[in-house]
């Protein structure tokens, strides 16, 4: 049963509450009748305020330098964690898995992207990967973003690479010798990832797949951070049902369920 699924609203804290995402997350939690926003934590605020407020779930939307400390603190104080913060490496995920063994009743959701469009592009890219010999990922973001490539692009490339390996595909063909270092982007498990930073953009991603005589482009465009909020709320409501570490919001969704009309 989800925490807070009884009469009492689920008590939620937001870390990074004064950031671009954090502000919207606070408003989304505040507006949900089954949730209660009990703490808004910014940089320099005491995490003890979260325990004093009796938070059951913490939403972390901070920075890669802070997220590990926040997750460790939450797990050692009986608080589930939903985080969309970037900077996840295999080592960091292993460390969180290890912490979770010390708090087996708690859940941690690491969601590279809370947007349904981005989650679906990742799924479609995974499905398409084995049918095309070439593939590249291009992510495009606002220039205030602190990291590159995006966490979503890294995750997308990893999923594609895993699907290609499972299908026994050869490496992506590429005869190029770079005249300038970086011209071919970053290499994530053998998949090239390119990062564009441009005023006017928010968060966008293309997966380009190519075979002899054809290409397929999968593209997701986020125009407003409101698009992330339904996913944040799904994470908050379901994290208690998923003890241990979960990577990817898709694990909380029924992507293969019966077709539904939007709004049903
Ligand atoms: N998973 C997803 O769907 C999405 C993830 N993101 C990621 O979320 C993170 C935040 O993004 P934005 O809100 O755009 O960044 P932002 O820079 O606007 O906000 C980050 C906030 O965290 C605060 N902060 C830093 N250290 C802290 C600490 N120890 N405790 C509490 N607060 C702390 C900063 O002062 C700032 O207010 C980034 O890593 C970004 O890539 C952003 C959009 C969607
Ligand atoms: O910083 C952002 O804005 C975003 N960050 C996440 C990422 O790095 O993938 C998710 C989304 O792309 C927006």
Average pLDDT on 59-77 reads 98
Q: Is 238 a catalytic residue?
A: no
**Is there an atom of ligand 1 within 6 Å of 61 CB?**
yes
**Closest C-alpha residue for ligand 2 atom 1:** 145
Average pLDDT on 227-248 reads 98
Q: What is the mean pLDDT of the chain?
A: 95
Per-residue pLDDT at 4 exceeds 80: no
- Give the annotated binding-site residues for NAD(+): 16-21, 40, 84-86, 111-114
Query: By percentage, how much of the chain surpasses pLDDT 90?
Result: 94
pLDDT of residue 54: 98
**Closest C-alpha residue for ligand 2 atom 10:** 113
Q: How far is the CA of 28 from the centre of ligand 2 (A)?
A: 18
**Is there an atom of ligand 1 within 6 Å of 63 CB?**
yes
Nearest-5° angle of CA 8, CA 71, CA 64? 125
Q: Which one of the ligands is nearest to 84 CA?
A: 1
Query: By percentage, how much of the chain surpasses pLDDT 70?
Result: 95
- The pTM of this model reads 0.95
pLDDT of residue 33: 98
Q: How far is the CA of 168 from the centre of ligand 1 (A)?
A: 38
Tens of pLDDT along 119-143? 999 999 999 999 999 999 999 999 9
- Give the annotated binding-site residues for NADP(+): 43
Per-residue pLDDT at 261 exceeds 80: no
Q: Which one of the ligands is nearest to 44 CA?
A: 1
Average pLDDT on 189-209 reads 98
Tens of pLDDT along 23-65? 999 999 999 999 999 999 999 999 999 999 999 999 999 999 9
How large is the ipTM? Answer: 0.99
Q: How far is the CA of 162 from the centre of ligand 2 (A)?
A: 22
Tens of pLDDT along 138-164? 999 999 999 999 999 999 999 999 999
Task: Identify the band that residue 7 occupies on the pLDDT scale cut at 50, 70 and 90.
Answer: confident
Q: Which member of 141, 194, 204, 238 is catalytic? A: 141
Q: Which one of the ligands is nearest to 143 CA?
A: 2
Domains and CATH numbers, the chain: 10-110+226-252 (3.40.50.720), 116-175+182-222 (3.30.360.10)
Looking from the CA of residue 154, the nearest atom of ligand 2 is 9
pLDDT of residue 262: 59
pLDDT of residue 1: 39
**Is there an atom of ligand 2 within 6 Å of 185 CB?**
no
Average pLDDT on 181-185 reads 97
Q: How far is the CA of 249 from the centre of ligand 2 (A)?
A: 14
Q: How far is the CA of 80 from the centre of ligand 2 (A)?
A: 22
Average pLDDT on 208-230 reads 98
Cβ 42 vs Cβ 16: under 8 Å: yes
Cβ 119 vs Cβ 250: under 8 Å: yes
């Amino acid at each position: 049963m989800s925490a807070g699924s009884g009469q009492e609203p689920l008590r939620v804290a937001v870390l990074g509450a004064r950031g671009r995402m954090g502000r919207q997350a606070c408003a989304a939690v505040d507006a949900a009748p089954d949730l209660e926003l009990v703490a808004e934590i910014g940089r320099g605020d005491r995490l003890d305020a979260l325990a004093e407020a009796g938070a059951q779930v913490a939403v972390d939307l901070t920075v890669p330098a802070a997220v590990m400390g926040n997750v460790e603190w939450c797990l050692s104080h009986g608080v589930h964690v939903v985080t969309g913060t970037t900077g996840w490496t295999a080592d960091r995920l292993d460390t969180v898995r290890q912490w979770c063994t010390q708090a087996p009743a708690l859940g941690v959701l690491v969601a590279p992207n809370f947007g349904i469009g981005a989650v679906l592009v990742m799924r479609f890219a995974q499905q398409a990967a084995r049918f095309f010999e070439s593939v590249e990922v291009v992510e495009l973001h606002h220039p205030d973003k602190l990291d590159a490539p995006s966490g979503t692009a890294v995750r997308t490339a990893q999923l594609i690479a895993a699907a290609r390996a499972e299908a026994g595909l050869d490496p992506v063909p590429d005869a190029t010798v770079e005249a300038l270092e970086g011209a071919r982007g970053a290499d994530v498990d053998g998949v090239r990832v390119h990062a564009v930073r441009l005023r006017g953009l928010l968060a966008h991603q293309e997966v380009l797949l190519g075979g002899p005589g054809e290409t397929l482009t999968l593209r997701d465009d986020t125009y407003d951070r409101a698009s992330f909020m339904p996913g944040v709320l799904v994470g908050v409501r379901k994290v208690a049902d998923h003890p241990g570490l979960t990577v990817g919001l898709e694990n909380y969704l029924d992507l293969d369920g019966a077709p539904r009309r939007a709004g049903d």
